């Protein structure tokens, strides 16, 4: 029973370490303007209701880098925009892919918005294309993980406790071996 508990505990610890490592890599890969890139996949947390009912506020979408030349009407894209002097990422649907004498641009609109977006999207502002992979409400979790307190509570603190546990475990093993050696020698 004790052995089974130990095995389960070790599995849980290793699963947690792998998850923590993945989240850490995402954090370290967070480039300029707050976009994380995990082996080509870009997790984004939806902040508004403009794409309902396709995507709800708080949903986590997994989007991918895409060749802008392949984008077409109906595709859902995430792109940089400036709102109130701040750089934000917007996820909206392409209403028209324009090619004006070689100059590409995209007219976009939120499914839940009445009007098309005021500014056309330039190719270099496009972050990724949404291919339908989403996890309901997990965006809130991502936002929490990315927050200062969330990352500390969910990643750093448990890792620290695991480290202390492993350190104590290692010391106990060494003490036990030493004791066994002493008994054998005597």
Provide the binding-site residues for another protein, judged by CB under 8 A: 13, 17, 20-21, 23-24, 27-28, 30, 32-33, 80-82, 85, 87, 100-105, 119-125, 146, 148, 151-152, 155-156, 159-160, 162-163, 166-167, 169-170, 173-174, 177, 180
- Shortest approach of another protein to residue 165 CB, angstroms? 8
- 85 vs 79, 80, 81, 149, CA distance in Å? 16, 12, 10, 27
Closest CB to another protein among 136 and 169?
Answer: 169
Please state the closest distance from residue 136 (CB atom) to another protein, in A: 25
E strands in the chain: 41-45, 60-64, 76-83, 86-100, 103-109, 126-135
Name the minimum Å distance from CB 137 to another protein. Answer: 23
- Least separation in angstroms between residue 14's CB and another protein is 8
Helix, coil or strand: residue 18: helix
Q: Count the neighbouring beta carbons within 10 Å of the beta carbon of residue 88.
A: 14
């Amino acid at each position: 029973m004790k052995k089974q508990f130990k095995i389960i505990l070790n599995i849980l610890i290793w699963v947690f370490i792998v998850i923590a490592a993945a989240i850490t890599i995402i954090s370290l890969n967070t480039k300029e303007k707050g976009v994380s890139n995990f082996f080509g996949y870009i997790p984004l947390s939806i902040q508004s209701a403009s794409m309902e009912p396709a995507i709800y506020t708080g949903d986590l979408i997994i989007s991918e880098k895409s060749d802008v030349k392949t984008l077409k009407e109906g595709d859902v894209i995430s792109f940089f925009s400036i709102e109130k002097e701040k750089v934000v990422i917007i996820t909206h649907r392409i209403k028209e892919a324009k090619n004006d004498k070689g100059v590409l641009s995209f007219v976009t609109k939120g499914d839940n918005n009445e009007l098309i977006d005021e500014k056309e999207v330039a190719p270099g502002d496009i972050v990724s294309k949404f291919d339908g992979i989403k996890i309901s409400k997990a965006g809130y979790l991502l936002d929490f993980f990315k927050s200062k307190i969330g990352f500390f509570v969910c990643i750093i603190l448990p890792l620290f406790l695991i480290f202390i546990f492993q350190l104590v475990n290692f010391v106990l093993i060494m003490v036990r071996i030493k004791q066994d050696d002493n008994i054998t020698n005597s």
